Each structure stands twice: as structure tokens, then as C-alpha cells.
């Protein structure tokens, strides 16, 4: 596989504490990679190390096939765009003028300003003063700035923080378009699994500086099969009966004091379920209630890693 970023044993220590610990990330090229973790997990520190803004205590960062070192740092960084902290703008200048200044500072052709404004859908308001922009527009301008010079890779640290739902939606759609339309790799961090779920193909989950999970989102979802839960008059006898019929079933408890014993089954087709119900009723077991449920991504994550992380 082709990787846009790989980190090898990447560590950062602050005041004697490892805040990023032996991180081995593998970020495939041409996708949106969601870098997830609760506040303080070490996401920003990791991204800053990728951008050479923070010096690793140990380990290495490989970007677009090159292991970053003092000699090649500037060449490597010229291939990356980033939005790490809230961008600062000149409010009395237009979005376009702000980008032109950024282009000059970056040594990028000013022609790329129009293209960047187009990608983030700000071309209509490019000549408006930034002080009149909404927060969402300012954030899109920040992404436009990251896009100057057509980088192959962009790093966005919590780009939807503080935005209203409409602004979040705009940024999300914009991020999803970047790999498809422009062949870019996007590394986007968030503390919200639900948000990453809507835009990333690959995810890495970090907590207390350690990588807990890295895989495609499909793998998480593959574990999220729906299941059926039956409340019956005699759960134990129902379980035995279904086992006899080779229906994979199990018992679990629910309710306020966990007093209700529930029969859980994998999702069945209509005809399979009607067969199960017929067997129970024929055996004089009453079925009071049937519910369908789907595991939340947090639950799946807990099953996979044995660790509970608050990502909602
Ligand atoms: N310059 C610094 N000096 C000392 N400690 C730091 C420094 N920068 C970050 N830390 C600590 O490192 C840990 C990871 O911080 P980091 O900002 O990377 O987390 P994060 O996952 O990006 O979370 P958030 O979204 O809250 O920024 C935190 O405990 C933080 O206090």
C-alpha cells in the first residue's frame, strides 16, 4: 500500500511525561483519515510533529515517501497544507487579499488563490472583507489557505470546532470532496466519532498518547451488525429450544435493576424470524416484545479494544 504518512515509534515527552507514546500510524494515500481521540489525547502534538512544529523526543515521521529530517524538512513541508490552530486574518482585507498575502509568504503562485477559493466555495465572496465572514466561512478560508499550491496532503486539526451545524456540514462535504476530486490525502482530527464516521474511510484512535485502533471504518462497521432482542415468558427454556434448532441465541439482562432476562439473536430474515416465533409459541412460550438494535460505534470500539473512550 502507498502511504501518505507513516510514523515510526513516534514519541513526545513533556515535563517527563510521554504525551505521545510509540505511535506507529499508517495513513494511506488518497483517503480521508480520521484521527480520533478525546481532548488531551495527543492529536495536535502528533500533527505538529508531522509538520516539524514540535520536535519528537523519539521516533520518525515519513511523509510522501520521505523520512523527515533537518535537511529535507522544507521540501517535505512544501508538499503539505495545514490548518492546525484557529487561523488569524486581516479582517479589513478581503478573503482573496488574505490568501494573496499567504501565497506570497508561502512562495506559491498567486494564481492558485482563485482555485483555492473555488474549491472551498468562497469565490462569490472572495472580495468581501473577512470581518464580515461567518465563522464557517473563516474556517473555509483557513482550508483554502492550506490548499494554496495544490498540496498532495493536508492536515486539519479539529476543523469543525465551534461551528454551527450548517458550517459543520459544509466543512464535512468539502473534506470528502478533496480525495475524490483532487486526489489529495486528508488527515483530519476530531474528538467526535460520529463526525469522523461521516467523512473518513480510515481511522486511527488515540488515547493518552497511545494508538488504540487503526483500520478502515468498514472494520468498525462490520462489527455493528444489528441484533434482535425478544422478551419472553420463559427465557431459559426459549434459549434451550432455539439451541436445539441451531439458532445462535444468548441471554442478557436489561431493565432498571437488570431483572429482565432478554433473549438475543443475530438479525434474521423475515422467514427465519417467523420460524423462530412459531417454534416458541408452539412450545407455549409467550413472546411479549421484539426489538431490533444496533451497537453504537463506541460499543464496538469497546469490544474491539477492551477500552472505553468518550468520543461523543
Ligand atoms: N507545549 C506543551 N507543554 C506541555 N504539555 C503539553 C504541551 N502541548 C501539549 N501538552 C500536553 O500534551 C497532551 C496532549 O495534548 P494535545 O494538545 O496534543 O492533545 P489533543 O488530543 O490535540 O487534545 P485537544 O483537542 O484538547 O487539543 C495534553 O496533556 C497537553 O496538556
How many A from CA of 43 to the centre of ligand 1? 8
Are both 86 and 171 inside the same structural domain? yes
How many A from CA of 39 to the centre of ligand 1? 8
**Which three cell numbers mark 238?**
426459549
Q: Which residue minimizes the CA distance to atom 12 of ligand 1?
A: 19
User: Could you tell me if residue 304 is inside a domain?
Assistant: no
Of the two residues 167 and 285, the one the predictor is more confident about is 285
At 256 the pLDDT is: 63
Residues in the chain: 312
Of the two residues 90 and 303, the one the predictor is more confident about is 90
Q: How far apart are CA 232 and CA 250, in angstroms?
A: 13
At 184 the pLDDT is: 95
- Mean pLDDT for all residues in the chain: 90
Question: What is the position in ligand 1's atom list of the atom closest to the CA of 46?
Answer: 18
Burial of 310 (0-12, 13-18, 19+ CB in 10 A): exposed
How many A from CA of 263 to the centre of ligand 1? 45
User: Could you tell me if residue 276 is inside a domain?
Assistant: yes
User: Could you tell me if residue 307 is inside a domain?
Assistant: no
User: Could you tell me if residue 306 is inside a domain?
Assistant: no
Mutate to test the pocket of ligand 1, among 10, 12, 16, 19 (most ligand atoms within 8 A of CB): 19
Going 159 to 161 to 162 to 165, the CA torsion angle's sign is: positive
Question: What is the position in ligand 1's atom list of the atom closest to the CA of 157?
Answer: 22
Output the domain CATH number for residue 51.
3.40.50.300
CA atoms within 13 A on the CB side of 296: 11
At 279 the pLDDT is: 94
Are both 277 and 187 inside the same structural domain? no
User: Could you tell me if residue 311 is inside a domain?
Assistant: no
Question: What is the position in ligand 1's atom list of the atom closest to the CA of 45?
Answer: 18
Q: Which residue minimizes the CA distance to atom 31 of ligand 1?
A: 40
Phi and psi angles of residue 48, each rounded to the nearest 5 degrees, phi first: -65, -35
Are both 163 and 241 inside the same structural domain? no
Are both 110 and 176 inside the same structural domain? yes
User: Could you tell me if residue 74 is inside a domain?
Assistant: yes
Are both 81 and 200 inside the same structural domain? yes
Q: Which of 221, 238, 265 is the last residue of a domain?
A: 221
Phi and psi angles of residue 38, each rounded to the nearest 5 degrees, phi first: -65, 170
The mean pLDDT of 5-32, rounded to a whole number, is 96
Output the domain CATH number for residue 265.
3.30.70.3400
How many A from CA of 196 to the centre of ligand 1? 20
pLDDT tens-digit map of 136-145: 899 999 999 9
How many A from CA of 170 to the centre of ligand 1? 27
User: Could you tell me if residue 305 is inside a domain?
Assistant: no
Are both 107 and 235 inside the same structural domain? no
Instruction: List, in sequence order, the alpha helices (H) in 33-164.
Output: 43-50, 73-77, 95-106, 112-119, 135-147
Question: What is the position in ligand 1's atom list of the atom closest to the CA of 47?
Answer: 18
Domain count, the chain: 2
Q: How far apart are CA 220 and CA 225, in angstroms?
A: 10
At 111 the pLDDT is: 85
pLDDT tens-digit map of 172-213: 999 999 999 999 999 999 988 888 888 999 999 998 999 988
Are both 217 and 231 inside the same structural domain? no
Domain region containing 265: 227-294
User: Could you tell me if residue 130 is inside a domain?
Assistant: yes
Are both 214 and 72 inside the same structural domain? yes
Are both 134 and 217 inside the same structural domain? yes
Torsional class of 308: left (φ above 0), alpha (ψ -120 to 50), beta (otherwise): beta
Residue 58: which pLDDT band, with cuts at 50, 70 and 90? very high
Are both 60 and 120 inside the same structural domain? yes
Are both 216 and 231 inside the same structural domain? no
Instruction: Using a pLDDT cut of 70, give the percent of the chain over it.
Output: 94
Are both 78 and 195 inside the same structural domain? yes
Around ligand 1, the residues with Cβ closer than 6 Å are 14-15, 19, 37, 39-45, 158, 191
pLDDT at 258 over 70: no
Amino acid at each position: 500500500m502507498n502511504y501518505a504518512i507513516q510514523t515510526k515509534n513516534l514519541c513526545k515527552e513533556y515535563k517527563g511525561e510521554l504525551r505521545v507514546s510509540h505511535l506507529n500510524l499508517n495513513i494511506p494515500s488518497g483517503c480521508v483519515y480520521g484521527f480520533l481521540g478525546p481532548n488531551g489525547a495527543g492529536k495536535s502534538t502528533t500533527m505538529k510533529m508531522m509538520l516539524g512544529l514540535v520536535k519528537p523526543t523519539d521516533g520518525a515521521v515519513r511523509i510522501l515517501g520521505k523520512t523527515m529530517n533537518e535537511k529535507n524538512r522544507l521540501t517535505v513541508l512544501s508538499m503539505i497544507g495545514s490548518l492546525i490552530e484557529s487561523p488569524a486574518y486581516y479582517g479589513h482585507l478581503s478573503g482573496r487579499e488574505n490568501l494573496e498575502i499567504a501565497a506570497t509568504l508561502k512562495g506559491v503562485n498567486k494564481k492558485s488563490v482563485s482555485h483555492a477559493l473555488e474549491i472551498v466555495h468562497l469565490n462569490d465572496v472572495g472580495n468581501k472583507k473577512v470581518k464580515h465572514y461567518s465563522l464557517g466561512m473563516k474556517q473555509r478560508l483557513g482550508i483554502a489557505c492550506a490548499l494554496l499550491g495544490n498540496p498532495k496532503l493536508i492536515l486539519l486539526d479539529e476543523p469543525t470546532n465551534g461551528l454551527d451545524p450548517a458550517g459543520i456540514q459544509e466543512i464535512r462535504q468539502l473534506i470528502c470532496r478533496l480525495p475524490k476530486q483532487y486526489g489529495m490525502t486528508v488527515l483530519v482530527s476530531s474528538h467526535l466519532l460520529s463526525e469522523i464516521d461521516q467523512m473518513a474511510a480510515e481511522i486511527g484512535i488515540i488515547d493518552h498518547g497511545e494508538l488504540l485502533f487503526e483500520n478502515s471504518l468498514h472494520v468498525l462497521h462490520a462489527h455493528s451488525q444489528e441484533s434482535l432482542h425478544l422478551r419472553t415468558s420463559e427465557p431459559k427454556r426459549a434459549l434451550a429450544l432455539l439451541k436445539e434448532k441451531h439458532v445462535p441465541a444468548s441471554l442478557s439482562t436489561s431493565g432498571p435493576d437488570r431483572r429482565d432476562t432478554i433473549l438475543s439473536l443475530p438479525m434474521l430474515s423475515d422467514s427465519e424470524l417467523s420460524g423462530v416465533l412459531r417454534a416458541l409459541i408452539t412450545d407455549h412460550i409467550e413472546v411479549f416484545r421484539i426489538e431490533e438494535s444496533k451497537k453504537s460505534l463506541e460499543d464496538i470500539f469497546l469490544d474491539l479494544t477492551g477500552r472505553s473512550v468518550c468520543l461523543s
